[in-house]
Structure 1
Amino acid sequence: MDFELNETQKDIQKAAHEFAEKEFTKELALELDQREEFPFDLWQKACKLGFIGVHFPEEYGGQGLGVLENVLIVEEFCRKDSTLGVALTLSDFASELILRFGSEEQKQKYLTQVTGGKAVSAGAFTEPEHGSDITSMSTRAVKNRDFYVINGTKTLISNATIAKFFIVLCQTNPEAKPTYRGQTLLIVERETEGVEITKISGKMGIRASPTGEISLNNVKVPKENLVGEENRGFYHTLEFFDESRIEIAAQALGIAQGAFDCALKYAKEREQFGRKIIEFQIIQHKLADMITKIETARLLTYKAAWNFDQGRIDPYLTSMAKAYASRVAVEVTNETVQIFGGYGYIGENKVERFYRDAKITEIYEGTTEIQKNTITRTLLS
């Protein structure tokens, strides 16, 4: 058993760290957080350097590497700045569905745009009536010869306002029992007639990663936009979640490590009662607990990524990684703000954004409660 990263992985980690150190400025992060805007210029730089879609094959503009290498990039980006890191690493969201289940034509058309900085992607699963429960979809797709006609609404969709295309989970067979056996994934391009996007503003965190609602009114898409098999969309989506959960765990891990870095530095510099606050045992113990949790989350996240790269689908492991890493992110950022005191509560200080951005990792890509349900099902099977 080897816990050491190989030379390629170390180089990727170093390159991601150096890119973030150079390009992720405090001024840019604050501006985009306040204006709730996506960092397009920064995203295109990241694409040009090969950071987006690193786990895609070279023929689609990727580096031909694995999920673990992608995790290293996500961790380093979010460690430097959670607002910018999350926005960049979500820019290819759900395009893995095309990678894993799409046709060769779909891969050539869409994945090359994602890696080339020409298109942001989005996955449209959540509905107003169905939050965590995707076993039944109100969005309907009716096949009419060579086309599908889609009607419905998707909400809380990451990248909704900036994505060039969406992978939409639809109910194609409403009579199926159970209902999830009648779901299908379809690619819907943003400019298709009948697609309307509404921005959701005022989020607690990840404000540079836009969120919105998608209304689909008699949207007509060709049958060639079918991803995978008809009426197998639910199963394809579950496999995708097994991969995407790992990325969210990596986001949480990076946020936790970034907050800890700030807390450690501040504790070494801040003086109270005539000495550095790091000399107080209570601060020392806080830091010890924080870094222990972070290291544990890292081991679990890396193992989940490595396991996926071995070709094994293991919801038990990926759910543990996401549930634990996201809880650690919330706990560590909370303790970081506490160590900073009043200064940590001010928006000029990035630990305030770390704190706000951490919470979403317990919610999207399946809430912590859903992850625990998945873990428990495995225990009881």
Structure 2
Amino acid sequence: MFDFILTEEQKKIREEVRELVKWVPRQMIMDMDQDKIRFPKEFLQEAGRRNLLGCRYPKQWGGRDMDWVTTCMIMEEVGTLGYIFACVFGVGAELVCDAIILHGTDEQKEKYVQPLLAGDLFAAECLTEPRAGSDFFGTSSIAEDKGDYFVLNGQKRFIVGAEGADFFLVYARTDFDPKAHPHKALTCFIVDRGPGVEVEYLYGLMGCRGGGAGRIVFKDVKVPKENIVGRFNGAYAVFNTMMIPERLGTAAMTIGAARPALEIATQYTSRRKAFGQVINQFQGVSFQVAEAAILLDAARSIIYTTSRAVDAKEEMNLIRRMVSETKKFVTESCQKVAKNAMQVMGGIGYTNVFPVERIVRDLGLASIWTGTNEVMSLITAHEWYREYHQNLKARQARNYELDAAEAEAADEKIYE
């Protein structure tokens, strides 16, 4: 568990989170997976009561003044309950709170952040639309300025926590000039649940059930001007900072969700016998468990490295690359961990006798939401090339290209 990275205070908080994890009834996990519980309010209320929501935010607003290393440790521990527990834990107390803490007013923090971190209110982030998911600037929801308020119309879908949310963080178009720059045409709003806000239905999800995922329709919703988060037509600035909690938090929780699969598979393969011996004696089994352990440790390593970079407030372009590659590497590694666990357990791993099949289903979401892994590759490639050429101009470094016998051969290095 990389204890050498954590301070004594962080270890104490980890024990508090583990106590919360023990508190969750087994039946709650079963009922959420069967959609009998559509949104786990009791879980979030208990987390709020224990002051475990939003630990990296100021104490003034209900947090603990901790850092990203602490947050990632917490998200991993919560994730061991199941990926959806960490999803709903993070959506309100990390994503929505982050936007308001970094870009909102003190009045907004008092009205929305304090009760949310106490577990008295619930929130959801509304970004994805039928025609705009990864294409953030393709948002078709609109908010028209009517003087003292805006009128919001549009719809969002695949919104985790929609079923139980008391308010929503919504991105909408507010500059309708066709020539308007996309980065300067959207505004971020806090929208209270009320007249004109309709949560239409829950999706039949493959996994991560019980998190209240739904479609939200906004019909002539009046949004007061004081509910703008950040600046008018300034949603890009909010979205840009939100990428950190969305993607780094997602990666951290994925480690927690995959960890039980590896532990269950390790226990099973230490007891199950075939051909006269315990099956962990077969390399075909033990090597898959070893691969899973390696991937999980590598995932933690990149999580904590990136967390420390964020805490150190490194240059934003570097953070964008590190967060993006972390999200891609960790989520895909953890999916492999869960699949290896199922494989070494054989047929029984494919049944609901063990929770491994649920873990495999749940982790399918990890590489899709908060930005697909293809988008993560796009960002990583863009930032890597930019960073390479920038550094090439800035430093006097060895020209490694010349370290070849025929490096200066005529007519061999042709680029056009």
State the TM bucket, normalised to the shorter chain.
Answer: over 0.9
Q: 2:186 is aligned with what amino acid?
A: Q
Q: Return the alpha-carbon distance in structure 2 between the equivalents of residues 149 and 88 of structure 1.
A: 30
Deviation at 1:8, TM superposition (A): 1.2
Q: Give 5+ residue unaligned stretches, structure 2.
A: 387-416
Specify the SS of the correspondent of 1:219: strand
Specify the SS of the correspondent of 1:336: helix
Q: Return the alpha-carbon distance in structure 2 between the equivalents of residues 351 and 39 of structure 1.
A: 21
Q: Deviations over 1:111-133 (max 9, x none)?
A: 01111111111111111011210
Q: Return the alpha-carbon distance in structure 1 between the equivalents of residues 383 and 10 of structure 2.
A: 31
User: 1:191-210 to 2 correspondence within 5 Å?
Assistant: 191=194, 193-210=195-212
User: 1:272-311 to 2 correspondence within 5 Å?
Assistant: 272-311=274-313
Q: Deviations over 1:324-354 (max 9, x none)?
A: 1100111111111112222111224211111
User: 1:117-132 to 2 correspondence within 5 Å?
Assistant: 117-132=119-134
Specify the SS of the correspondent of 1:94: helix
Q: 2:320 is aligned with what amino acid?
A: P
- Superposed structure 1 runs of 4+ greater than 4 Å apart: none
Q: Return the alpha-carbon distance in structure 1 between the equivalents of residues 222 and 16 of structure 2.
A: 43
Q: Return the alpha-carbon distance in structure 1 between the equivalents of residues 184 and 82 of structure 2.
A: 41
Q: Give 5+ residue unaligned stretches, structure 1.
A: none
Q: Return the alpha-carbon distance in structure 2 between the equivalents of residues 174 and 233 of structure 1.
A: 15
Specify the SS of the correspondent of 2:136: coil
Q: 2:31 is aligned with what amino acid?
A: E
Do the aligned partners of 1:173 and 1:183 also contact (CA within 8 Å) in 2? yes
Q: Return the alpha-carbon distance in structure 2 between the equivalents of residues 215 and 27 of structure 1.
A: 32
Deviation at 1:3, TM superposition (A): 5.7
Specify the SS of the correspondent of 2:38: coil
Q: Report the TM-score, using the length of structure 2 for normalisation.
A: 0.87
Do the aligned partners of 2:91 and 2:125 also contact (CA within 8 Å) in 1? no
RMSD over aligned Cα atoms? 1.6
Q: Which residue of 1 aligns with 2:181?
A: 178
Q: 1:145 to 1:90 in 2, by over 3 A?
A: closer
Question: Equivalent of 2:374, from 345, 356, 369?
Answer: 369
Q: Return the alpha-carbon distance in structure 2 between the equivalents of residues 329 and 279 of structure 1.
A: 24
> Which stretch of structure 1 is more off in the superposition, 60-69 or 182-191?
60-69
Q: Are 1:27 and 2:32 an aligned pair?
A: no
Q: 1:32 is aligned with what amino acid?
A: M
> Which stretch of structure 1 is more off in the superposition, 241-250 or 7-16?
7-16
Q: Are 1:190 and 2:187 an aligned pair?
A: no
Specify the SS of the correspondent of 2:207: coil
Q: Are 1:320 and 2:320 an aligned pair?
A: no
Q: Which residue of 2 aligns with 1:39?
A: 40
Do the aligned partners of 1:83 and 1:353 also contact (CA within 8 Å) in 2? no
Do the aligned partners of 2:144 and 2:151 also contact (CA within 8 Å) in 1? yes
The structure number with the bigger radius of gyration is 2
Q: Are 1:66 and 2:71 an aligned pair?
A: no
Q: 1:74 is aligned with what amino acid?
A: M
Q: 1:130 to 1:82 in 2, by over 3 A?
A: closer
Q: Which residue of 2 aligns with 1:347?
A: 352
Q: Which residue of 2 aligns with 1:231?
A: 233
Q: Deviations over 1:6-29 (max 9, x none)?
A: 111111222212331x22343321
Q: Return the alpha-carbon distance in structure 2 between the equivalents of residues 212 and 244 of structure 1.
A: 18
Q: 2:190 is aligned with what amino acid?
A: I
Deviation at 1:235, TM superposition (A): 2.4
Q: Which residue of 2 aligns with 1:4?
A: 5
Q: 2:123 is aligned with what amino acid?
A: S
Do the aligned partners of 1:87 and 1:208 also contact (CA within 8 Å) in 2? no
Question: Equivalent of 1:269, from 271, 292, 304?
Answer: 271
Deviation at 1:210, TM superposition (A): 1.4
Q: Which residue of 2 aligns with 1:96?
A: 98
Q: Report the TM-score, using the length of structure 1 for normalisation.
A: 0.95
Specify the SS of the correspondent of 1:132: coil
Deviation at 1:80, TM superposition (A): 4.0
Q: 2:17 is aligned with what amino acid?
A: A
